[in-house]
Amino acid sequence: MVLDAASALILGIVEGFTEFLPISSTAHLNLASDLMGFAQSEYVKTFEIAIQSGAILAVVVLYWKKFLDWEIVKRVAVAFVPTAILGAIFYKLIKSFLIGNTVVALLALALGGLFLIVFEKLHKNPADERVRGLADSTMSYKQSFLVGLFQSVAMIPGVSRAAATIVGGMLLGVRRAAIVEFSFLLAVPTMLAATGYDLIKSAGMFSLSEVNILAVGFIASFVMAVVSIKFLLSYIRRHSFTAFGVYRILLVLVFIPAYFI
């Protein structure tokens, strides 16, 4: 099947809504592409990376004031360093062998889902944890750097960048609402770097029609990312991440017959 505007719209919706939830947008794009019959060509892989820029724009639009706070910007920069270094080192390996690998994505989804469930069973929430946001955060530079290390694990498809950073931050003692918002902000340099680096390497291979298809995916991703961010902020005020863990495992169980039976 050829990637057209309609399929780009679907993939953009999937990317935008799942990007900031702890369920792995990369795995969902992989599974959606498989369902629609797309071979994991270089163009499809680049498309799946590039439409993340729509989600980046959503964070910038919603949180532009945070990027004017120098203390927050410095912590985001520190957290970005580990992923920047490791991403540059392992770029070829990730794109050649991991992105588009459904088996890896399903395994990471299942293990990540189990981890989320166990984590929430063991994690004790301070009474006011869910109502305090990033403005009240006292994240140190050490915590920021370590959150960045946790994020780098998400280079493996199916792990979920959001899950890795949020759980990592909570393990380090950062409040739930604060690390969720910090995860949004950290997504901007992380995804911008990944998207920009890949587009620089691949831009010459795109025709005008393919650029237009990318634009459709970009717009859909932006709109759905705004919805997703607002949904998650409302959700965490009343709920833990256990439901996301259960969802990840159920999703794997649904797809296992298609790949292993």
Does 38 have pLDDT greater than 50?
yes
What percent of the chain is modeled with pLDDT above 70?
A: 84
Nearest to 79 by CA among 156, 190, 191, 194: 190
Nearest to 230 by CA among 51, 24, 57, 59: 59
Q: From the centroid of its chain, how far is CA 97?
A: 19
Gap between the Cα atoms of 158 and 16, Å rounded? 16
Does 232 have pLDDT greater than 60?
yes
Q: What pLDDT digit, counting tens, does each position of 211-227 carry?
A: 788 899 999 999 999 99
Total-model pTM: 0.85
- Model confidence at 3, in pLDDT bands (50, 70, 90)? confident
Gap between the Cα atoms of 229 and 234, Å rounded? 9
Gap between the Cα atoms of 45 and 11, Å rounded? 12
How many helices and strands in the chain, by DSSP H and E?
11, 0
Does 96 have pLDDT greater than 90?
no
Other CB atoms within a 10 A radius of the CB of residue 84 amount to 17
Does 235 have pLDDT greater than 70?
yes
Q: Tokens 């259960």 identify what position?
A: 246
Q: Sign of the CA dihedral 148, 149, 155, 156?
A: negative
Q: Tokens 């953009």 identify what position?
A: 12
Domains held by the chain: number? 1
To 10 degrees, the CA torsion angle through 159, 89, 150, 110? 20
Q: What pLDDT digit, counting tens, does each position of 7-36 carry?
A: 999 999 999 999 999 999 988 988 888 888
Structural domain of 54: 5-260
- Model confidence at 125, in pLDDT bands (50, 70, 90)? low
